[in-house]
Chains A and B, each alone.
Chain A
Amino acid sequence: MKRIVIHEEHCIGCRLCEVHCLVQHSRSRDIIKAFRTERDTVLPRVHVEESGPISFALQCRQCVEPVCIEACISGAMHRDEITGAVVCDEAKCVGCWMCIMVCPAGSIQQNMTGGGASGRHIASKCDLCYGAEVPACVANCPNEALTYEEVPEAAPQE
C-alpha cells in the first residue's frame, strides 16, 4: 500500500500540511469556515516536529503491525479493508487513550469535542484522507517534503 514518506531535508516548517489536514477533516471543508467555526471540534492529524532549523511533518506511520489496534479496547482502531489504512472508527471510540499510550510516533491525539456538540472524547488520527488519491498534507506541501509512495514492507528485523 501507499505510505506518506517524510523528507526532513525539504521541510521548512510552514505548517500548511496541518492547515489543509484540518480543512480536509472539517465538516465544511472550507478553509475560512473550518478555522473560524469548527476549530474546536476538529484537529489536524499531522504535526510538524520542530527543533531549531530542523523540522518535519509527522502523521501516523501506518505500522505493519499497529500497536494501536492491538491496544484498542473498543475495536474502533482497525485496518480499513479497502484502503488498507489504519483508521479509527470514531463512532466506536470511547476515548480511553490506550492507543495514545502505545503509539511510538505520538501521532494520535485526544479530541475532546470529537462528537461536536455532544463533546464525545475520541482519538484523532490520520486516515490517509479516506482513500484519496493523494492525502491533503502531501498535496498541499509546497516543497515535496511529504510524498505519497508505494513503500515495500520493511525486511524482517532480527
Chain B
Amino acid sequence: MENTRSVQTPALDQTPRIVIVGNSATAVGAVEALRKVDQSAEVTVISAEPHMIYSRPMLSHYLAGEIERPRLAYRGADFYARHNVRPVLDDAVVRIDPQAHSVTTASGQTFGWDKLLIATGGSPIIPPLPGLDVEGVYAFTRLDDALAILEYARKREARHAVVIGGGMIGIKATDALLKRGLRISMVELAPAILARSLDEVASRMMSNLLVDAGVEVLLENTVTEVRSSEGRLTGVVLRDGRQIACDLLVFGIGVRPNAGLAREAGLKVNQGIVVDHAMRTSHEGIYAAGDVAEAYDLVVDMNRIVAIWPNAYRQGATAGAHMVGVERVDPGGVAMNTVEVCGVPAISVGNGNAPEEGHQVLAECDERAHRYKRMVLRDGRLVGVILVGDINRAGVYTGLIRNRIDVSGCEDALLNERISLLSLPDQYRKHVVTGAGIEV
C-alpha cells in the first residue's frame, strides 16, 4: 500500500477493541481500511439511526423519485457480517469517557474501547423561528427526513414548497421536489445561490435554470415566521414582509458538526473536532473524521471542516488504518462538489470562486449553451476550478490541484475543450499514466 508504512504496535494482552460512533461514509471507510490489514480487532459501530448504512447524498435522488429505497444502500446488507463488525443501531451515544475508555448510549449500554473513532457527522441547522412545531416542516439530511417529506407530500398532496437555503442541500432538495412536480420558492440569505462554491457567473447560470423551470428564487431574503392553521403549515412570512402560501417547508441551510460529545469529553474542538494528519484528536486513542472533524485542507492550507462524502470516506480510511497500527497520513482534503440543476451539471473544486484580485483567472463562457469554465491560479498553480455543462475532464483539473502541479506555460491548454494530458508537464503526465501508486 502506498503512503503507508507499518509501525510497531504495542503488544496488547487482549484483542484490541475499536468503537466507531457513526454509521455513514466515515465508518465504512474506517472499517474497510482496518479490515484490509487486521482481522482480529473487535469492532463495534454505534449509530443513533435505525437504518443500515445508506448514502445521504443519494437522498435527493430518492426524494426525486429517481431511485427506489433499496438503492440508497451504500454497502450490501451483509457489510457488518463480512467485516466482522458488531452494529449497534438505533441507540445514540450520549457520553464519551476518555479516562475510562468507554462510551455510553441512550439505552444505558456501555462499550469499552482501546481506540475510538468519532464519526458523528452534522445536524441540520434549523433557525429558531416562531411557529415551527407544525406539520409540514422538515429538515433534509437524513433518511427519516426524506421518508417523512414523501409521506407528508403524498398524504397532503403538497403543491407548493418553500425551500430555505440556496446552497448544496437547498438546491438538491429543490431539484428533487421539482421532479416531483411541486412549485418551489427558494429563499437564500446571500445575494447568490451556491455562493460558497460558485462564482457570480456560474451561480447566475444555475439560478437562471431554476427560474426557467419555474422556481421562484428569492435572494437576500429569509423566512422570519411560519404560519399554520390547526397544526398544519399554511405559509411563511419573509424578512421583507412578503407572504408566501405553502404546504411544505424544507430547511436546506446546512449542517453543523455534532461535536458536543467531544467537547463535553474535553477534546479540543473549534468549529469541529480538531484532528491531525492521522485523524487523531487531542486525546490519545481517540480519532475523529468526516463532517465532524476539522482536518487539513490542502488548498487553503489550514484545518477546516469540509463536509463532503469523499473526505468523509478517506478520513475514515486514514483513521481506520491508523487505529490498527498502519501509519497512514492523510494528504489533506479539497473542498469540491457536484450539483445538477434541471439536467445541467456543475462542478466546483477548491477555490473556484476566488476573486480575480491576487489570482490569475482564466474563464470561458457560453451562457446560452449552459457552458462555463473558470480556472483560478496562484503562483503558477491551479487552486480552483468551476465547470458548468461540460464536466467530463473535471478530474484532470482536480488532480492538478491536489498535486499542486506548476502549470506555468500550460495555461492555454487549461481552457481547451478537452484538456489533454499531453499538454501537461511531462513528469506529471507520467505519474498519472503509470497508474500504480497514484495518490491524489
Residues of A participating in the B interface, judged by any CB pair closer than 8 Å: 3, 6, 8, 49-51, 54-56, 58, 61-65, 67, 70-71, 73-75, 92, 94, 96-106, 108-110, 151-157
Contacts and interface: CB of A to CB of B under 8 A. Distances in A.
A64 B4 CA distance: 12
B438 A63 contact: yes
* Interface size, B (range): 35 or more
A6 B434 CA distance: 8
A155 B1 CA distance: 8
Interface stretch (B111-119, B128-136, B308-316): B308-316
Contacts of A49: 420-422
Centre residue among A56, A67, A104, A105 by max chain B CB count within 10 A: A104
Given A96-B338, A152-B436, A50 B398 contact: no
Contacts of A99: 395
B162 interface: no
A101 B436 contact: no
B362 interface: no
Nearest to A154: B437
Interface string B282-295: 00000000000000
B322 interface: no
Nearest to B72: A74
A49, A65, A74, A92, most chain B CB atoms within 10 A: A65
Given A56-B433, A104-B396, A156 B4 contact: yes
Interface stretch (B55-63, B97-105, B181-189): B55-63
A92 B55 CA distance: 12
Contacts of A51: 420, 422-423
A64 B1 contact: yes
A73 B421 contact: no
Contact of B2 (A3, A58, A75, A156): A156
Given A58-B421, A101-B349, A153-B436, A70 B29 contact: yes
5 A-B pairs with the lowest CB-CB distances in the bound complex, closest first:
A154-B437, A104-B399, A61-B435, A103-B395, A51-B422
